[in-house]
Amino acid sequence: MTEDTAAPTAPPGGRETADYVQVKMPAESAYLSVLRTAAAGLAARLDFTLDEIEDLRIAIDEACAMLLAQAIPGTDLKCVFELGADLVTITVSVTAAEARMPARDTFAWTVLSALAGSVDSRLGPDDRVSIVLAKRRGG
């Protein structure tokens, strides 16, 4: 498992972007407690309420469960946290044997949407499947 952080950068226009934290670990459910703990700590840093923090922890579990079902054994699960002033965006991704977008008409997707506020999915290069969660403090 590795964790990388990068200092904020200034985009065109001079405003700073969000802090960036990346966690990479084996694509196995036994490691999900690490992501739940990281999400809780980072959301607390942004002064999220206890209920908002718990919502993020559950949303990460749901997103990872959806992705781990199609992950290639022995590959990594990657989680990127982008922290704004009052917004956390979490991108969880795995390499899939037969990459496909998660179904949006399922109970799990409905739960994700209710807990995170904003949910999206992406197919990337090298059969990388991602779920992107965004939650705003007080939203």
For 36, 85, 98, the CA distances from 67, given in Å and listed in that order, are 15, 28, 12
Q: What is the pTM of this model?
A: 0.84
- Residue 25, domain member (yes or no): yes
Q: For residue 12, what pLDDT is reported?
A: 39
Here the CATH number for the domain that contains residue 101 is 3.30.565.10
Assign 33 to helix, strand or coil. helix
Spatial CA neighbour of 89 closest among 122, 126, 123: 122
Residue at 100 is within a domain: yes
Is 13 within a domain? no
pLDDT, position 97: 87
Question: What's the pLDDT score for residue 17?
Answer: 58
pLDDT (0 to 100) of residue 9 = 41
Domain that holds residue 39: 2-6+18-136
Under 8 Å CB-to-CB from 14, ≥6 apart: which residues?
none
Identify which of 53, 62, 2, 3 has the alpha carbon closest to the alpha carbon of residue 32.
62
In a domain, 12, yes or no: no
**How many structural domains does the chain have?**
1
> How many CA atoms are closer than 13 Å to the CA of 16, on its beta-carbon side?
10
The length of the chain is 139
pLDDT at 16: 54
pLDDT tens column, 24-49: 999 999 999 999 999 999 999 999 99
> Is residue 11 assigned to a domain?
no
In the DSSP assignment, the letter for residue 14 is S
Ranges of residues in the chain whose predicted pLDDT is under 70: 1-18, 139
